[in-house]
Structure 1
Amino acid sequence: MQDNSSAGTTLTRYARFARTTLESGTFIPTMRSVGKRALSTSHSYGLKRDLVAPHETPVAKIPISVRAMRDDDVEHILDIHAEVDTAERWERQTRGRLLDQGIGSPYVAVNSDDEPCYVQWLFSADDNDDVQSFFHGIFPVLGPDEALLEGAFTPVRHQGKRIMSAGMSMIAEKATDLGARYVVTFVGTDNIASLKGCERAGFLPYVDRLEKRLAGRRRMEFQEMDAARVEETRVLKP
């Protein structure tokens, strides 16, 4: 039985989410997302990078560096009241929910003016309980030498500059500070642009993930790839 304090926390979280959805004008994309939870099947690739393996960091079209996200970065990259279209506002809102949870370590790639152009969260094995709870089991449990990258977001006005692959590559290397050798991430099989960016950042496919939802129930299937399957699924051919 759920205690009153837990139930109250859950209700408060849902009330805050509903208010934010209405204020941001993202009701339609939010309802589409909720609808997918009732009946859907999605296929993603898990990609992994070995931080010990040789890798040349991709170069963005503008000079960038990465650092831990600060409170004053939020208004520049995740403000849901900014003059952006509904699709981007929804992307900002979903990252805002992750930020509100206070889990993981958010990093930003910044330009020469220290303006954040890209954000992504890094999680270590110490974050396993939080990751499993927040993401409802869509990621494998991390081993002691593994880390997870999730929540990547590039505002539309910064897209087309290859910031993602460069920023992701540099953020992944922060995982060594957490004692990790391997970093994993997951991308939908139809998101070719992100798959290309991940490969440029040193990530190669290693597992198939199939997510099935029926009447609100989710079933996850993870299948390790053999060498032939890895080469078949790569979007940047050697």
Structure 2
Amino acid sequence: MTFRDGGDGTPREGLDPAEGRIARFVRKVRWRLREGIYAGRVSVGLRRDVHAPVAVPSARIPLSLRSFEPEDLAWLFPDDDTGSGADERADIAWRLRMVERGALFSHCFVAIDETSGRPCHVQWITEAGYDAAIRRGGALPVLGPDQAMLENAYTPPQYRGMGVMTAVTAMMAKRAADVGARTVIAFVDEDNVSSLKGACRAGFRPYMIRVRRQYAFGLVRTARFDPLPADYAFPHQRP
């Protein structure tokens, strides 16, 4: 399961400093071609008061939460660039570099399967005050001083359907309180029904719609934020 789509709109090409120039160029071209001439995406903005009590279902395995460590990548994304988590792996590498440069106020966490000691989920907390560089795509809202955002959650295939995302998202909401946040928000693709249900079980409630569009292989990007209509229905609820 994944509610990835942190929404920064930034290409992840050339993230590995060990890559040669030709490899980075090929990655960049491949990314642009994959964007296509036109594409649109609708996401739902959800929020939660981190101090409000929420009864969250437990995952089917015992979990603990700790900060991300470099060796976690091999467990989370064993297939490297050929696997289903290639974009997520690249996104983590990009975000770690942004954090090192001081351009992004984010903290990456992993959930640990206590039965095996292996990482089974990754997720970010982004704090207020992140640099404008991450908003060049125009797809993220400005966070208030008492807000934080959960981003780029990813669960490896073997751990999906076990309630991991719901449990970890609730744990992450509590972590947001540690950085002074009172409200935590997240954006989930409208058609990602399992992630939307999981976020709601973790105490999040829809309040906003984000419409993103890109043209000319991603060279032009737009984003619009609208309040959630009173009569809004998720795709799986529509006739």
After TM superposition, is the score higher than 0.5? yes
Partner of 1:72: 71
Shifted more, 65-74 versus 110-119: the winner is 65-74
1:168-179 matches, within 5 Å, as 168-179=169-180
The structure in which a higher percent of residues are helix is: 1
Q: Deviation digits for residues 130-179 of structure 1, max 9, x if unmatched?
A: 5425xx22110001111011110111122121101101110121011111
Residue 111 (structure 1) aligned with residue 113 (structure 2):
yes
Partner of 1:61: 60
RMSD over aligned Cα atoms:
3.2
The one-letter code sitting in structure 2 at the alignment partner of 1:151 is N
Structure 2: state its 5+ residue gaps. Answer: 1-11
Contact 1:80 1:93 in 2 (8 A): no
Give aligned-pair identity as a percent.
32
Partner of 2:224: 221
Stretches of 4+ aligned residues off by more than 3 angstroms:
13-20, 30-35, 78-82, 128-131, 232-236
Partner of 2:6: none
Take 1:209 and 1:80, find their aligned partners in 2: how far apart are those partners?
32
Give the structure, 1 or 2, with the largest relative contact order (CA under 8 Å, sep 6 or more): 2
Query: Residue 65 and residue 213 in structure 1: after superposition, are their counterparts in 2 closer, same or farther (change >3 A)?
Result: same
The one-letter code sitting in structure 1 at the alignment partner of 2:122 is V
Q: Deviation digits for residues 33-83 of structure 1, max 9, x if unmatched?
A: 65436411111101111112221132000010112212332332245549x
Take 1:128 and 1:229, find their aligned partners in 2: how far apart are those partners?
35
Take 1:130 and 1:60, find their aligned partners in 2: how far apart are those partners?
36
What is the number of residues matched between the two proteins? 216
1:45-56 matches, within 5 Å, as 45-56=44-55
Structure 1: state its 5+ residue gaps. Answer: 1-12
Contact 1:43 1:189 in 2 (8 A): yes
The one-letter code sitting in structure 2 at the alignment partner of 1:98 is R
Query: Residue 76 and residue 86 in structure 1: after superposition, are their counterparts in 2 closer, same or farther (change >3 A)?
Result: closer
Partner of 1:132: 135
Partner of 2:191: 190
